Amino acid sequence: MDGETRHDDGRDLFKTPLLKIGRKKLEYYGDFLIKADNRLHDQVFSLLSARVPPPARVLDFGAGEGSLSQRLADAGYDVLAVDIEPAKFKATTDFEELDFDDHDQMSDFRARHRGKFDAVVSVEIVEHLENVKTYLQTAAALGRPGAAIVLSTPNVTSWLSRVTFYFAGTPRGFMEHDFQTMGHIIPITSSELERLLGNAGWLVRQVVSGGLLPRVWITRSPALLVANALGVLSYPFMKGLKDGWCVIAVGSLP
């Protein structure tokens, strides 16, 4: 970490709405259903393109079905996508199968691609991994000098997560049903994310809130209505990154 690190709530990119009615809106990129929080891919793309313009070589380090990979490729980037389930990948970019928790696979991938990439994007991946340290160190080894990283993970210090923790003793997104449905196992705060990235060799330049988490929801859920009421009352006294479903860190290699 260095003196350039900046923390804010992401509103310089996309303003957070104060009010939401009903459920989360589904978002698409072409025919791809974006399986991420609203506007998160827009924010990641904006942060990446501000630092590394096309036709840079980009590693989508956990690509899922490939909606972000396809967006990057359509913008002129040279993209390699990797993930554990090739059968689910639908984009037209290059793809390699990789299990991030398999030491041998990670070592082989690192040896074959060391120093080849101008940027690494990692959207909602680290919370699923048993060894975040190895993942971030591998990402650093794969980058060229000066390469950028844009990485997101659930914001466990959002106002809603803080209210959830008050009642459940667990951050929002990391309760038992979240593990069963989404495989979330590692909650990471923004300060922990900075430390992990710094220890892996990245210089953290910017940390922002990501995804659109409204301040007030109109909903039929009694639990969410109570959470909203408590959130509204306590919001002015909260410190740190309290907006956004996610936290996004932007870093670079020396």
Q: Does the residue 1 lie in any domain?
A: no
Q: Counting beta carbons within 10 angstroms of the beta carbon of residue 127, is it exposed (0 to 12), middle (13 to 18) or buried (19 or more)?
A: buried
Tally of structural domains, the chain: 1
Task: Tell me the CATH number at 197.
Answer: 3.40.50.150
pLDDT greater at residue 50 or residue 18: 50
**Looking at the predicted structure, is the pLDDT value of residue 25 above 80?**
no
Q: pLDDT by residue (tens digit) across 178-205?
A: 777 788 999 999 999 999 999 999 999 9
**Looking at the predicted structure, is the pLDDT value of residue 17 above 70?**
no
Cα(135)–Cα(209) distance, integer angstroms: 22
Q: Give the chain's mean pLDDT.
A: 90
Number of H helices, E strands in the chain: 8, 12
Q: What is the pTM of this model?
A: 0.90
Q: Does the residue 42 lie in any domain?
A: yes
pLDDT at res. 187? 95
pLDDT bracket for residue 104 (50, 70, 90): very high
Least-confidence region, from 19-23, 159-163, 177-181: 19-23
Q: Are strands 143-154 and 203-210 parallel, antiparallel or unpaired?
A: unpaired
pLDDT bracket for residue 119 (50, 70, 90): very high
Q: Does the residue 243 lie in any domain?
A: yes
**Looking at the predicted structure, is the pLDDT value of residue 23 above 70?**
no
pLDDT at res. 224? 80
What average pLDDT does the segment 108-117 reach?
98
pLDDT over 70, % of the chain: 91
Work out the angle between the directed axes of helices 132-142 and 190-199 (0-180°, nearest 10).
50
Q: Does the residue 220 lie in any domain?
A: yes
Of the candidates 207, 202, 197, the one whose C-alpha atom is nearest the C-alpha of residue 246 is 207
What average pLDDT does the segment 60-76 reach?
97
Q: Does the residue 144 lie in any domain?
A: yes
Question: What's the domain range around 23?
Answer: 6-252
pLDDT bracket for residue 1 (50, 70, 90): very low
pLDDT at res. 18? 57
Q: Does the residue 57 lie in any domain?
A: yes
For 127: left if phi > 0, alpha if psi spans -120 to 50, otherwise beta; the answer is alpha
**Looking at the predicted structure, is the pLDDT value of residue 138 above 90?**
yes
pLDDT bracket for residue 135 (50, 70, 90): very high
pLDDT greater at residue 177 or residue 204: 204
What average pLDDT does the segment 113-139 reach?
97
